[in-house]
Amino acid sequence: MLAQVIVDCASCASLNRFPAARLGAKARCANCKTPLLPLSRPVAVRSAQDFDELVSSSPEPVLVDFWADWCGPCRMVAPELEKVAAARAGRVVVAKVDTEALPEVAGRFGIRSIPTMILFKQGKEATRLSGAMPAGAIQEQLAI
């Protein structure tokens, strides 16, 4: 079975699934028909398989935030990543990987400190940075 990106609808909170390769297309909520794409909010990655599909199949670059709930700086950078997702909707997909829930994904990329953000282009790591910072600095340092 093909891994799916799961997006919660901002209007009705319904969960919607579709292949990562469709992130550049148009999609509507199955429940209320509100447009879901382009993604203007970070999407939570729920499994290693979903992560692999998202990074390898997304037609747009994917900015992945490796974080944990107990991490203060991660909580500080979360609203900044919301701003990045809104500002770059249709040009960059912002995804969040909880290192506590998916340690195997974090381990694959040698995540030793959080928050760490990695920008993937065409399935390959393009650049990374660590630490909490404002949205403008994230966009500038990652050239997105």
Q: Which of 9, 12, 29, 71 is catalytic?
A: 71
Query: Residue 29 catalytic?
Result: no
Query: Residue 74 catalytic?
Result: yes
Q: Which of 9, 29, 32, 74 is catalytic?
A: 74
- Cα–Cα distance measured from residue 46 to residue 123, given in angstroms and rounded to the nearest whole number: 18
Q: 3-state class of 46 per DSSP?
A: coil
Distance of CA 59 to the CA centre of its chain: 13
Phi, psi of 61 (to 5 degrees): -60, 150
Active site members: 71, 74
